[in-house]
A and B are shown apart, each in its own frame.
Chain A
């Protein structure tokens, strides 16, 4: 497909020498002068296009060539229109640019020349003038004139409107609204071109106009829409297609803006009064009296209702069936849009939408159609007092649990959640409990949707579900593996032939482990934070640790954990935070064994443990028992070095009376003893088989922690000093079994000496190692005693004394 040949072509085009290029230009000019529009011309133009587009820096063509190419834009042969337009698009517009603009009338240009003009627009004014020309052309249009210029009007206007809705005046909007109504509602219902149905005996006389048909072949009984077919089409039927294609954008641009101008029209409205809300649907017979915008709204409404009815028919071709789905989406969205604007339409629209929902809700292949319906319910359900329970059961229940592997549905559903977050949190109570289901999208295809979850996760963190959410996030790779197994299990027969994934698949299918997997696959939170046999589950899934989905998932978990912790401190009380610390300690050894995963999670835990304890130092006291137990286990030094270091640090830092008055001497002493024991052990023996030497940071942190604790309970000082001096003696003998690097050893010993000399003066040690609050949180600029401006003023006064 993409070959070496293409690469070298691009290289040649980029590296063409200027002299060669000039020769090429002059040859081209000669060809263009000759007016012989043959194969050589086409080939040369194509090569020119490649040369110009191969570079990101723009080139200027010689003026003669530019002029000739410009004239080629109106060539009768389409290929030259296309080629010249493409080439000119890659060059700088000519210097007399603005002059060009007012001269060209876009209405008379073909589609390709019009595209060029649009792309060369240099300012807002240019674009506005294009707009004006197009609309003038529309206004003054008689039945003559090339068809293509008319069909391109709507797309061009539409693309301009995306950026610059203000370029249409109120009159323009009115004009276009009227035109749109004509094309949408009053297009011809006969097939175009006088097409005969053929046959041997049909002659010119029997060429009667044939009515259009529906997609299932029956003769159409109502006005023309995009879902009507015929042998060939008239111009206004084409405009019907273009109008509907542009309709939603038009309505969103000009109708969703709450316009004060609308109130001026209410005097004209005799029939449809917005303040009278009618449950019985009003007939539209009086719509002729409505002003243009409101009339367009009414006709759009009717068009959409007709489309919804037409979509129930069984189309003969698959492409038409797909189009029916797309039309349903569009129709529901347009109905939503017009109902936003005119609330009285809600009562007319709801029966239709409800019926549609009833028809489609059990068919998962229409899931993407049901999302706009859910949006409609969310926007208008309250007003119409309709029960939306079954809608949310689908969106938060069946869709994530059964369609997690549809990337388009995932994208649209998550987008729906992002856009309606506030509304959902208010109206859908089960939203915050639906995270086990929603996270399935993430577990299946992390790279594609992690961005959406970065935005959504904070809304799912509540005090009631925080612990369960933490466990679920930590086990996201397990969920990933389970979903893969689930998909494999349904695809492959029971007698599994391929060797890969055999053990875990067996486990997935076996009844004795079913409960474990079912817990992971649960749809709602609330049935328990996690399972007891988590380690069993991890063992069963050990072979999945190198599956691509599992690995991708493991990579994004740390990011989500950061978001989780950043959010949870805003909603949690101290009791919950203490519980979370407990979970962190427990789970640090209970994770699926994926390379680097454990280390990354430990790092996240460590940084947040630190942060939590800094914010609420009394947490250390609350969880002192667990923290002590954790720090007293020597094995943790080797297997969970990062967390261990931080646990020891927080113990040393925050286990003091100044942080929490419940702290007693006994507690400090027992903590001291636990840490002392570990320090002795790791500095007196060889590390256990399979483990590296303890990192120097662990040793120094232990020493510092001991010193800090000793500074608070002075009886302990002699014990520390003794240890530190012993350490100095031992290490003087040279290398030790527990430290492989000489520089590290020197650093450790230096730290030991510093602490030893500090502890010789207990009072000083206390103020250095357990500083009071006003020292650790300086307020230089806020404290009147030490504020810099004050000091400066004082100094100035002293030195400039008059």
Chain B
């Protein structure tokens, strides 16, 4: 199962410190895991939310660091793709996978798959025995749709104001965090529904 999906910055942000990442979209799936760990006291909903936000901030920071190191090592120049060149931007994207040790920040070990498209990172946090080939494919598809439907290659801020589109996309392609084995016909059917939503 996928634990969460994030969109965050992987470039330096003026308002933040070095290495810090701004989380632009975050969707955590399933019931809160702190309900099931044996705690001495139960967390209130406020505390649970703060905990969740801090966990995702940690993930974003680690992916930011991994992406920067990976880009530095590869030594390629970041090319700026223009709106309309989504497929090219995706092809040129850096990708990788990070091991998140148990406790740092989730109670169990997790794998964080990431795609870095210019200044934004798209991250899927999966349970480690998950099918990473499928997860990788799903992440690429999600990223492609986000780039297209939120016009991320342009200068707008739609990722912040049109986050309902991402929610609708996730409810089709990653319902409640379940990765789906979709051949092109099933995918086509779902993508038609997504496209219908986006045009509203």
Contacts and interface: CB of A to CB of B under 8 A. Distances in A.
Contacts of A677: none
Nearest to B101: A451
Interface in A316-333: 317, 319-320, 322-323, 325-327, 329-330, 333
Interface string B8-20: 0101011100000
A226 B189 CA distance: 14
Given A119-B28, A229-B184, A415-B128, A6 B177 contact: no
Contacts of A230: 185
Q: Which of A155, A327, A369 has the most CB of B within 10 A?
A: A155
Interface string B179-200: 1111111110100000001001
A121 B45 CA distance: 10
B134 A326 contact: yes
A246 B160 contact: no
A245 B178 contact: yes
B15 A11 contact: yes
Q: Which of A78, A159, A241, A548 has the most CB of B within 10 A?
A: A159
Interface stretch (A50-58, A507-515, A586-594): A50-58
Interface residue SS majority, chain A: helix
Interface in B2-50: 9, 11, 13-15, 22, 24, 26, 28-33, 35-36, 42, 45-46, 49-50
B183 A323 contact: yes
Contact of B184 (A119, A320, A447): A320
B136 A46 contact: no
B47 to A, nearest CB: 9
Nearest to B50: A56
Contact of A78 (B30, B101, B197): B197
B97 A111 contact: no
Given A1-B118, A447-B69, 11 more contacts: A119-B30, A123-B42, A127-B31, A151-B175, A226-B182, A228-B183, A238-B186, A317-B184, A407-B95, A411-B99, A548-B73
Nearest to B16: A7
Given A58-B45, A159-B31, A323-B137, A233 B185 contact: yes
B84 interface: no
Contact of B183 (A49, A227, A448): A227
B97 A407 contact: yes
A232 interface: yes
Interface stretch (A65-73, A160-168, A645-653): A160-168
A2 B163 contact: no
Contacts of B186: 226, 233, 238, 241
Interface in A45-92: 45-47, 49-50, 53, 56-58, 78-79, 82-83, 85-86, 92
Nearest to B167: A82
B103 interface: no
Given A233-B186, A451-B101, A82 B168 contact: yes
A9 B160 contact: yes
Contact of B33 (A115, A163, A552): A163
Given A115-B176, A229-B184, A448-B98, A326 B9 contact: no
Contact of A7 (B13, B132, B175): B13
Nearest to B193: A78
B81 to A, nearest CB: 9
Nearest to B134: A326
16 contacts: A1-B153, A5-B157, A6-B160, A7-B14, A58-B46, A79-B168, A92-B46, A111-B171, A115-B176, A122-B35, A122-B45, A154-B178, A245-B181, A319-B183, A415-B99, A447-B69
Interface string A227-250: 111111100001001101110110
B176 A152 contact: yes
Interface string B153-165: 1011101111110
Interface residues of B, number: 81
A112 B167 contact: yes
A468 interface: no
Given A2-B119, A329-B133, A448-B66, A46 B31 contact: no
Contacts of B178: 154-155, 158-159, 242, 245-246
Q: Which 7 A-B pairs have the closest CB atoms?
A: A159-B30, A155-B178, A155-B176, A56-B53, A163-B36, A326-B134, A6-B157
A329 B30 contact: no
A56 B31 CA distance: 18
A124 interface: yes
Nearest to B152: A1
B95 A244 contact: no
Contacts of B22: 2, 7, 10
A617 interface: no
Interface in A1-39: 1-3, 5-7, 9-11
Contacts of A320: 183-184
Contacts, number: 236
A46 B168 contact: no
A308 B149 CA distance: 36
A415 B137 CA distance: 20
Interface string A390-416: 000000000000000001100110010
A82 B156 contact: no
B181 A241 contact: yes
B148 interface: no
Interface residue SS majority, chain B: mixed
Contact of B1 (A78, A123, A158, A548): A158
B120 A118 contact: no
A445 interface: yes
A199 B27 CA distance: 45
Contacts of A558: none
Given A123-B35, A152-B176, A159-B31, A215 B181 contact: no
A498 to B, nearest CB: 12
A45 B155 CA distance: 22
A330 B127 CA distance: 15
B180 A552 contact: no
A11 B14 CA distance: 13
Contacts of B98: 448
A50 B160 contact: yes
Contacts of B161: 9, 46-47, 50
A635 B83 CA distance: 63
A549 B180 contact: no
Contact of A411 (B24, B111, B168, B179): B111
B69 A49 contact: no
A252 interface: yes
A330 B31 contact: no
A93 B32 CA distance: 14
A452 interface: yes
Contacts of B180: 241-242, 245
Contacts of A126: 31
A92 B1 contact: no
A111 B178 CA distance: 13
B170 to A, nearest CB: 9
Contacts of B49: 56-58
Q: Which of B137, B153, B186 has the most CB of A within 10 A?
A: B186
A663 interface: no
B181 A249 contact: no
A156 interface: yes
B31 A6 contact: no
Contacts of A548: 72-73, 75
Interface in A408-455: 408, 411-412, 415, 445, 447-448, 451-452
Given A163-B33, A408-B136, A448 B70 contact: yes
A368 interface: yes
Nearest to B187: A319
Given A2-B119, A7-B14, A112-B167, A156 B176 contact: yes
Contacts of A325: 133
Nearest to B99: A451
B35 A124 contact: yes
Q: Which of A1, A123, A151, A327 has the most CB of B within 10 A?
A: A1
A83 B175 contact: no
Given A118-B176, A548-B73, A86 B163 contact: yes
